[in-house]
Structure 1
Amino acid sequence: MIFTKIGRCALLFQLIHFFVAINAQDYACPPSNSDTPLGKLKDSVLCNYDTSVRPVANHEKAMNVSFRLVLKYFTYDPISSMLSLDAWLTVTWKDDHLTWKPEQYQNIKNLHLHTSSIWTPDLSVYNMANQGEDPEVIGSAKCLVTYKGVVLCVPPIHIDALCVADLSHYPFDTQNCSLQMGSWVHKGEELNIKLMKNVVNMDDLIHNGEWKISSYSSVRNSGKYACCPNDTYPSIEISFKVKRLSGSHAAGIVIPILADLILSFVFLSLSPLNKERLVLSYVTLLAQFIHVQFLTWQIPLKGDNIPLLLTFSRDSILMTVFAILFTLLFRDFMQRKTTPPAWISSIVSGVISCRPGQIILLSDYSTRGVASAKKEEDGTTIVSSDTNASTNNQDWVLFGNILDKILLILYVIIYFTMMIAFIP
């Protein structure tokens, strides 16, 4: 009886030992078929490696991931509101499952492994232009792994980020664009995103001739939200100031506006009775209208965000139209032969009685004006019986000139104010 129990216990022990041996063989790494130390090392570190599991010895410990951008080329399209970046993403982290003892592998301390063979952090761009694409930016590349488990990857990346244009100061505009990056699924307690020193490197940046990055800044958002008080979802925001190189735009757009402005002052400086004034005003109006049509075709219009240049051209057209209407009105005044109202004669006499009025308004052809200026208008120096018609016409002419000069001064003030508002 006793021997029977001992036999059963021995049989049970053998069965347990058999199953343990089988399980041990399942988890044990097969011998490497490589004849080189590097091959044996690679087979050893990747044995039973799971690329879908965060490689930390303690799952409650956060993994530090640091990165920076080495910019190579960029473009900005204000029509599609897209900032496109081509760069090298330098990213590093610690992988606790990729460690070995160099003395066991002929003192090999570094190993190159492909991103498809190891775990990589799911760094993603949140403000991608195409939200249907894979948000992760670390693609196919080889990484450097040290015997301490430090992984360094420098994959080439292409990013299309949304950046809505503000064309208020076109063509002297500067756009504020940003990249919002972080982990797609891991919270801050699992993946701690950090920035390397000099997060953006532009030493090898190739300029595109249309835009330049004048400055950049970065900030780490803690990622605390009311919905998840016990968890954080940190992100990194890298802001770029993208400035337009406005030389060609100034030559093709701003210079014609200045030419139209000069023509406006030229025809306003002419007398309303001068036929060339109307001809120049019509030519200026036509040129301004064509230029506005060109601007609306050249500049992408986005709702209420109207470029100041377009506003300037629009208001300039309206002012030219009003200048033409006032020219016709002043021309009608200056051609009248009727006796002007007493208040018009008083205004004319008051203006030409002062020295500035004489210099600006008079050409010394008005007998009444000169007499009023000299305070000799007493009935003796003026022969009313023979010169009434001429005096009446001169009063209308002087009144039209006064209004015309006031119009010119107002236009100078208005255009000066508009130009000050346009300067960025």
Structure 2
Amino acid sequence: MASCNKAFVLFYILLVVLIFDKRVESLGAEEKLLRDLFVHYDATVRPSGPDHTIIVDISFELNHIDFDDSKGLFTASAHFIAEWEDPKLKWKPSEHDNVTLVHLKKSNLWIPDISLYNSVGNKALDIFSDNGVIELEHNGLILWSMNVQMQTLCDLDMFRWPYDTHKCVFKLGSWTYDGLHLNLFHSDKLDTTQSFTQNAEFIITNFTADREIVYYSCCPEPYIVLNYFIEFTRRSSAFVSVFVMPAFCVAIMTLGAFWLPPHSGEKILLNGITLIVITMYQLYFIANHSTFSLRLPLIAIFYSLSFVLVSLSMIISVLVLASSRSLCKGQLPPGLSKILKSRIGLMFGPTNDSKKFDQTELSHHFEGGKSYEKFSLICTNNFYDDWTSLGIILDRVSFVVYSCIFLLIGLIGYL
């Protein structure tokens, strides 16, 4: 009886072994390979000894950029690739039906904790998400590829807006491993801008990377940081027609008010229209430009300065109108009379012919069916000419001063 029981047990064991072997044979070569590789594999443990350094090569390929200059927020979409060697995941292709490459999930193996140090918002380099592709070669080389979107803050210098150029940096490194356990290098595996989609507002002028070794006061070990510098320039053609050309027109309108006749009330009207235009652009800059900029845009400074200059121009126009429209004011004070005879008065003052014309008034009247012309003096004294001449001198001197100011601002913006 006992012998029968033993024979039955042996038969049962043999049957189980045959079924298991049959099931194993039915599995694909890749399935058997993965089963063998991950039998004793722990994805939470660095797959190397304490004295061995894992080297990770990182490369980027930019796809698109966006820059919010009201907040200084820079966003980049890129194709990210990281490569390293896992000594625990090697096999001989000859022993596994010549399988040399398999695809894995990131949850199945150890991943270096590469992070974006200077990230903002929720656009960090999230290495723990399930997106991306993992390729494992028979020599233990792992290639991790995925699309990422990163955000960081840039130092804003809007002084030459809309001809401004900005330089932003992405800092990549490990949160937990120092350079003795996880060493990072930049790889040229990808062309940094080959697949770049042109931005409607910005042009990339430079994209470089460097490797930085950082030491902290808390720890003697070195930490590796990869810096990716992106330099881009604004496409200024649209902004030139909308902001730069009107600024030129504001300067012309301001200067033109000084060449209107001294008794013309349109001087006040022209200055008033110029002030309205300047106010509209100032409201735009307040609403759309960052308060975090290191320097205000030169064009915004121009509009603010123009507001002050036009206000002063309006005061000058009022003084000129007051002096030219009132008759027989009386004799000029001695100090003002000296201005008319000084070098400035001789250089900017009206000619003698214009004075003589201002003294008389031409009129027409009909008598007996005939037309007669009559010339009469506006003022019996010669004081009117002096006051009007003083106003003309004030207009022309102001024109020269304002022209120098506008020219100086233009040279600063150009250089």
The TM-score with structure 2 as length reference comes to: 0.81
Name the residue aligned to 1:366.
355
Supply the distance in 1 between the matched residues of 2:334 and 2:229 (Cα, whole angstroms).
Answer: 69
1:72 aligns with 2:82: no
Alpha-carbon separation, structure 2, partners of 1:315 and 1:77: 27
C-alpha distance in structure 2 between counterparts of 1:69 and 1:198, whole Å: 8
The question of 1:273 aligning with 2:257 is answered: no
Deviation at 1:33, TM superposition (A): 6.8
Structure 2 unaligned regions, length at least 5: 1-22, 357-376
CA change 1:390–1:123 in 2 (3 A) is same
Does 1:163 find its partner at 2:134? no
Number of the residue aligned with 1:113: 104
Q: Residues 191, 408 of structure 1: CA spacing in aligned structure 2 closer, same or farther, 3 A cutoff?
A: same
The whole-number CA distance in structure 2 between the counterparts of 1:98 and 1:77 is: 44
Name 1:417's counterpart in structure 2: 408
The one-letter amino acid paired with 1:346 is K
Measure how far apart 1:200 and its partner are: 5.9
Match of 1:316 in 2: 306
Q: SS state of the match for residue 84, structure 1?
A: strand
- Report deviation, 1:404: 1.7
Q: Equivalences for 1:98-109 in 2 at 5 Å?
A: 98-109=89-100
Distance of 1:353 and 1:163 partners within structure 2: 54
Return the alpha-carbon distance in structure 2 between the equivalents of residues 282 and 79 of structure 1. 30
Answer yes or no: is 1:42 the counterpart of 2:31.
no
In the TM superposition, what are the counterparts of 1:212-223 in structure 2 within 5 Å?
212-223=203-214
Instruction: Work out which of the residue numbers 54, 59, 80 in structure 1 matches 2:46.
Output: 54
Give the residue type in structure 2 aligned to 1:63.
Answer: I
Correspondence 1:117-266 to 2 at 5 A: 117-130=108-121, 135-136=126-127, 139-197=130-188, 201-228=192-219, 230-266=220-256
Structure 1 residue 336 displacement after superposition: 5.7
Matched letter for residue 175 of structure 2: W
Report how far residue 401 of structure 1 moved.
1.6
- Cα RMSD for the two superposed structures: 2.8
Compute the displacement of 1:188 (Å).
0.7
CA-CA distance at 1:124 after TM superposition: 0.5
Contact 1:177-1:241 within 8 A present in 2 as well = yes
Q: What is the distance in 2 between the residues matched to 1:47 and 1:78?
A: 53
SS at match of 1:281: helix
Residue 99 of structure 1 aligns to a residue whose secondary structure is coil
Q: Using a 3 Å threshold, how does the CA distance of structure 1 residues 105 and 267 change in structure 2: closer, same or farther? A: same
Q: Which moved more, 1:261-270 or 1:179-188?
A: 261-270
One-letter amino acid of the structure 2 residue matched with residue 202 of structure 1: T
Structure 1 residue 402 displacement after superposition: 1.6
> C-alpha distance in 2, partners of 1:363/1:137?
88
2:269 aligned with 1:301 = no
State the distance in 2 between where 1:321 and 1:163 align. 37
Distance 2:270 2:247 in 1: 15
Match of 2:82 in 1: 91
**Distance (Å, rounded) in 2 between the aligned partners of 1:70 and 1:138:** 20
Q: State TM-score, norm by structure 1.
A: 0.80
Q: Given that residues 124 and 151 in structure 2 are in contact (C-alpha distance below 8 angstroms), is that contact kept between their aligned partners in structure 1?
A: no
Q: Does 1:397 align with 2:402?
A: no
Q: The residue matched to 1:287 in structure 2 has which SS?
A: helix
More displaced, 286-295 or 202-211?
286-295
Does the aligned pair in 1 maintain the 2:55–2:85 contact within 8 Å?
Answer: yes
Deviations 1:360-393 (Å, cap 9, x if unpaired)? 63262336xxxxxxxxxxxxxxxxxx99954322
Q: Aligned AA for 2:257?
A: F
Change (3 A) 1:66 1:91: same
- CA gap of 1:176–1:304, structure 2 versus 1, over 3 A, is closer
Distance 1:97 1:265 in 2: 79
Q: CA deviation at 1:268?
A: 1.7
1:79 to 1:343, Cα distance in 2 relative to 1, 3 A: closer
| Secondary structure at 1:167 match in 2 | coil
User: Deviation of residue 32 (structure 1)?
Assistant: 5.0
Does structure 2 retain, via aligned residues, the 8 Å contact 1:137–1:157? no
Deviations 1:333-364 (A, max 9, x none): 3446311234433332344896x55xx63262
Closer/same/farther in 2, CA of residues 138 and 193 from structure 1, 3 Å limit: farther
Aligned equivalent of 2:373: none
Give the direction of change, closer, same or farther, for the CA distance of 1:282–1:402 in structure 2 (3 Å limit).
same
Q: Equivalents in 2 of 1:107, 1:199: separation in Å?
A: 29
Q: Match of 2:279, as an amino acid?
A: F
**Shift in alpha-carbon separation, 1:213–1:190, aligned structure 2, 3 A:** same
Alpha-carbon offset, residue 257 of structure 1: 2.1
The size of the alignment, in residue pairs, is 373
**Secondary structure in structure 2 of the residue aligned to 1:320:** helix
Aligned partner of residue 155 in structure 1, secondary structure? strand
Change (3 A) 1:50 1:410: same
**Cα deviation digits, residues 383-423 of structure 1 (max 9, x gap):** xxx99954322222222222221111000011111222233
Q: Which amino acid aligns with 2:341?
A: S
Cα distance change of structure 1 residues 224 and 312 upon mapping to structure 2, 3 Å threshold: same
User: Is residue 257–residue 271 contact of structure 2 (8 Å, CA) maintained in 1?
Assistant: yes
Distance in 2, Cα, partners of 1:350 & 1:318: 29
Unpaired runs of 5+ residues, structure 1, are 1-30, 368-385
Cα pair distance change 1:34/1:270, threshold 3 Å: farther
Q: What's the secondary structure of 2:215's corresponding residue?
A: coil
Distance 1:146 1:174 in 2: 43
- Aligned pair in 2 of structure 1 residues 41, 235: CA closer, same or farther (>3 Å)? same
The match for 2:275 is 285
